[in-house]
Amino acid sequence: MDRRWLPAVISLTAILCAQPPEEKPEPVLATFKGTRLYNFHTTETAARGHLEFRVAHRFGDLTRGYATFWGLDAGAQVRLSLDYGVTDYLTVGLERSGVGRLYDAFVKVRLLRQKVPRGTPFSLTYYGAVFYSDLQDGARYPQAVHRFQYLHQLLAARKVSSRFSALAGIAWLHQNYALSWQAPNDYAFVPVIARFKLTKRLTLAAETALPLWENEPQEGRGLPDYRIPYAVVLEVETGGHVFQIGLSNAAGIAEPQTLLTQGYRLSLGFNISRIFSLYGDPSLGY
Amino acid sequence: MGTPVWAISLLIGGAFAQRLVADTLYLRFYSDAPLEKITAENTRGVYSFLDLATDSVFVRIKIRGFSFPNKLMEEHFNENYLESEKYPYAYFRGKLVAPVPYPTPGTYAVSAKGLLQIHGVAQERVLSGVFEIQPNGIVLLSGKAYVKPADHRIAIPRLLTQKIAETVEVTWWGRYKPAP
């Protein structure tokens, strides 16, 4: 090489070395709009110091048409939920469902967070809940211990593109008191969720839970007329609130009821959630 | 023949020697709308340098670096307004309108003219600030600018105009050190 150009090369190298620092991967934002889709949980959790209040309504069977005004006359089943983000990785929650007077407490732990533009390829969240039925029917539950049910889920999700996200997981439900003498105490499912953002503030999504347990009602084992639950949801975001309007064949409102749907129905329902930041929230005026 | 090459190289090398790189930079965003006052801070995502030989200014702001007290707002800021997955950075590339007498200590009013690029849309702007040269060669730079989201194709739904200001105030404070 011609020695005369050496100093220029040195200067040029020095300039190239002074480029901006390499970009650090960040946790992906908003794989789903909320901590639940319609009936089932997503991998999302509440942020640290944030409180999420959620009201869910499920109307009656709409297949009876005008006779019940597509299920709206039947009166709504209500579920109230309160989630609190202890840290960005740990959420605790309390819920009360009108159907079966069911109370539940749950934890959600983020085990992995998908990173962009590179890094961890998916998010992983553990969900664990204890359900307690306060049903005032002594004949239904012979002992207090029979009122408890447990649900564990391991959920994996990926925001595939800015519009499309998908979730798959594994769920295990244990009922201390089986639904009938021929029903099992343990059930396993594969929850599946997919969502597509139509616009920035409007999302179309669907959810289901595929059974891994064997149902043989004709042989006297399992649940007669068991149906795979599904829901189609339209999510509308209006600043501080998320509205979710859904159409579902699921029975009841809490997970142990929706996962074990029996019989045919189709009903409308909606969820409204509101998130409050406990550390200085301008929308609350402090 | 040999002399101009050396001269150019020395010039480039000299220019490099007079490059000041920010080791601390703080940026604050403030939106004052009738219903809501929103503040966000960015302390971990700003990269900037000043090249005093060419009078050029470069600032790169990581949009994900903005931290809001309400994380839902932070999510909306990234997802619905700034679209940080598509446009992860905002930039300012400009030139000082008048050179600064570095390294003579003192406080000077400075302005820089250049392109402010936010949300992928560049606008020509003149940004002003205060330039304080300390005896040890460290420079403190502070300033304030007003940015209209509409100028950068950031659409605010009419429903939310009471909550998000038409003009957003951006304040910054930085400490620059001579690059080694």
DSSP structural state of residue A138: T
- Is A10 inside any structural domain? no
Q: Has residue A285 been placed in a domain?
A: no
A242: left (phi over 0), alpha (psi -120 to 50) or beta: beta
Is there a contact between B36 and A20 if contact means CB atoms under 8 Å apart? no
Res A278: pLDDT: 82
Residues in CB range of B156: below 8 A, 6 or more apart: B81, B149, B150, B164
Q: What pLDDT, on a 0 to 100 scale, did the predictor assign at position A17? A: 46
Q: How far apart are CA B162 and CA B144, in angstroms?
A: 23
Task: Report yes or no on A18 lying in a domain.
Answer: no
Look-up of token digits 């939920």: A81
Helix (H, G, I), strand (E, B) or coil at A284: helix
Would you state the pLDDT for residue A131? 96
On whether residue A5 sits in a domain, the answer given is: no
Give tens-digit pLDDT for A178-225: 988 889 999 999 999 999 999 988 999 999 999 999 888 888 888 989
CB contact under 8 A, A282 and B69: yes
**What is the phi/psi pair of residue A165, to 5°?**
-130, 150
A34 within a domain of the structure (yes/no): yes
Best mutation site among A200, A203, A274, A276 for testing chain B: the one with the most B CBs within 10 Å? A200
Q: Is residue A17 part of a domain?
A: no
> Alpha-carbon distance B58 to B20, whole Å?
10
SS (H, E, C) B66-80: EECCCHHHHHHHHHH
List, for chain B, all residue ranges whose pLDDT scores fall below the cut of 70.
1-17
Q: Rounded CA gap, B143 and B127, in Å?
A: 8
* Residues spanned by the domain of A193: 23-279
B76, HSE (Cβ side, Cα atoms, 13 Å): 22
CA A76 remoteness from chain centre = 21
Could you tell me the CATH number of the domain that includes residue A161? 2.40.160.40
DSSP designation for B85: T
pLDDT of residue A1: 47
Number of domains, chain A: 1
CA distance readout (Å), A124 to A55, A70, A151:
26, 38, 17
- How much is the pLDDT for A14? 47
Identify whether the C-beta of residue A286 lies closer than 8 Å to the C-beta of residue B70: no
Contact criterion met (CB below 8 Å) for B95 and B55 = yes
Those residues of chain B whose CB sits closer than 8 Å to some CB in chain A are 1-2, 5-6, 8-10, 12-13, 16, 19, 21, 36-39, 47, 49, 60, 62, 64, 69-72, 75-76, 78-80, 83-86, 88, 157, 159-160, 163, 179
Q: How far apart are the first and last CA of chain B?
A: 30
3-state secondary structure of B119: coil
Q: Given 3-state DSSP classes, what are the helix, strand and coil percentages for chain B, each rounded to the nearest 5?
A: 20, 50, 30
Domains, chain B, ranges and CATH?
2-178 (2.40.128.110)
The burial class, CB within 10 Å (0-12 / 13-18 / 19+), for A200 is middle
Tell whether the torsion through CA atoms of A84, A150, A257 and A210 is positive or negative: positive
In a domain, A214, yes or no: yes
Query: Measured between alpha carbons, how far is A171 from A89 in angstroms, rounded to an integer?
Result: 20
Establish if A47 belongs to a structural domain: yes
Among B2, B85, B179, the residue with its CB nearest the CB of A116 is: B85
In chain B, DSSP finds a helix count (H) and a strand count (E) of 2, 10
CA-to-CA distance for A193 and A226, rounded, in angstroms? 20
Q: Give mean pLDDT in consecutive 10-residue pieces for chain A, a chain of 286 residues.
A: 55 51 83 94 94 93 81 85 95 94 96 91 97 84 90 97 95 93 93 95 95 89 92 89 93 93 92 85 54
